[in-house]
Amino acid sequence: MATIRDVAKLAGVSVATVSRVLNQNGYVNEETEKRVRKAIEKLNYKPNEVARTLFKKTSKTIGLIVPDISNPFFPELVRAIEDVMNIYDYTVILCNSDEKSEKEKQYMDVLKQKYVDGMILTTNQLAIEEVMELDIPIVVLDRPSDHSFPSVIADNYHGARLATRHLYGIGCRKIAHIQGPAHVVNAMQRFYGYRDEMKSLGLWEEALIIQGNYQLRQAKEAVLQALQTNQVDGIFAGNDAMAVGALKAVQQLGLRVPEDVAIIGYDGIPLTEMTTPELSTISQPIYEMGAIAARLLVKKIEGQFIEQLHYVLPVTLIERESTNRRGKS
**Average pLDDT, stretch 280-286?**
97
Q: Is the residue at 176 inside a domain?
A: yes
For 294, list phi and psi in degrees, rounded to 5. Answer: -65, -45
52 confidence band (pLDDT: 50, 70, 90): low
Could you give the 3-state DSSP secondary structure of residue 208?
strand
pLDDT more than 90, % of the chain: 71
Q: Please give the mean pLDDT across all residues of the chain.
A: 91
pTM for the predicted model, two decimal places: 0.82
* Percent of the chain clearing pLDDT 70 (strictly above): 95
Q: What is the CATH number of the domain that holds 19?
A: 1.10.260.40
Separation of alpha carbons 61 and 301, rounded Å: 11
- Do residues 97 and 110 touch, judged by C-beta distance below 8 A? no
Segment 293-298 shows an average pLDDT of 96
Element (H, E) at 236: strand 234-237
pLDDT computed for residue 22 by the predictor: 78
Question: What is the longest distance spanned by two Cα atoms in the chain?
Answer: 88
β-pair partners for 209: 177
Q: How far apart are CA 254 and CA 125, in angstroms?
A: 39
Q: What is the β-pairing status of strands 316-318 and 280-283?
A: antiparallel
Domains identified in the chain, total number: 3
179-225 pLDDT, tens digit each: 999 989 999 999 999 999 999 999 999 999 999 999 999 999 999 99
Same domain, 227 and 299: no
Q: Are residues 207 and 291 in the same domain?
A: no
pLDDT at residue number 287: 95
Task: Please tell me the distance from the alpha carbon of residue 209 to that of residue 226, in angstroms, as a whole number.
Answer: 9
- Is it the case that residue 146 has pLDDT exceeding 60? yes
In a domain, 142, yes or no: yes
77 in a structural domain: yes
In a shared domain, residues 160 and 271: yes
Confidence of residue 59 (pLDDT cuts 50, 70, 90): confident
Give yes or no for a contact between 28 and 36, defined as CB atoms under 8 angstroms apart: yes
Q: Is the pLDDT at 125 greater than 80, yes or no?
A: no
Cα angle 266-271-275, degrees, rounded to a multiple of 5: 100
Q: Is the pLDDT of residue 329 over 70?
A: no
Q: Is residue 301 part of a domain?
A: yes
Closest by alpha carbon to 162, among 322, 48, 303, 317? 317
Q: Could you tell me if residue 52 is inside a domain?
A: no
* 102 plus 65 within the same structural domain: yes
Residue 305 has pLDDT above 60, yes or no: yes
Read off the DSSP letter of residue 118. Answer: E
- The DSSP 8-state label assigned to residue 256 in this structure reads -
CA 182 – CA 213 distance, rounded (Å): 8
* 124 and 170 co-located in one domain: no
pLDDT digits (tens, 9 = 90+) for 226-236: 999 999 999 99
Predicted pLDDT of residue 56: 53
Look up the domain containing 301 and give its range: 61-154+286-314
Residue 48 pLDDT grade (very low, low, confident, very high; cuts 50, 70, 90): low
- Tell me what pLDDT residue 295 has: 96
Within 13 Å of residue 156, how many CA atoms lie on the same side as its CB? 21
Contacts of 130 (CB under 8 A, 6+ apart): 105, 108
pLDDT computed for residue 53 by the predictor: 52
**Full DSSP string of 130-198:** HHHTT-S-EEEES---SSSS-EEEE-HHHHHHHHHHHHHHTT--SEEEEE--TT-HHHHHHHHHHHHHH
Residue 245 and residue 170 share a domain: yes
328 confidence band (pLDDT: 50, 70, 90): low
The model's confidence at residue 134, banded by pLDDT at 50, 70 and 90, is confident
Q: How far apart are the first and last CA of the chain?
A: 75
Same-domain check for residues 128 and 173: no
> SS3 for 10?
helix
Cβ distance 238 to 187 under 8 Å?
A: yes
Least reliable range by pLDDT among 98-107, 220-229, 237-246: 98-107
Residue 325: its pLDDT value, please?
Answer: 86
Regarding whether 257 and 171 lie in a shared domain, the answer is yes
The residue type of 228 is Q
Q: In 10 A of CB 174, how many CB atoms? A: 16
> Quick one: CA torsion of 283, 310, 122, 85, rounded to 10 degrees?
90
Domain harbouring 255, CATH code: 3.40.50.2300
H-helix or E-strand spanning residue 59:
none
Q: Which amino acid is at 41?
A: E
In a domain, 23, yes or no: yes
Are residues 19 and 135 part of one domain?
no
3-state secondary structure 19-31: HHHHHCCCCCCHH
Domain membership flag for residue 329? no
Do 133 and 71 belong together in one domain?
yes
Do 166 and 199 fall into the same domain? yes
Res 200: pLDDT:
98
54: in domain: no
Report yes or no: 114 and 61 within 8 Å, Cβ to Cβ. Answer: yes
Which residues fall within 8 angstroms of residue 205, CB to CB, at 6 or more apart? none
Q: Is there a single domain that holds both residue 177 and residue 261?
A: yes
CB atoms inside a 10 Å sphere around CB 22: 19
Q: Does residue 21 register a pLDDT over 90?
A: no
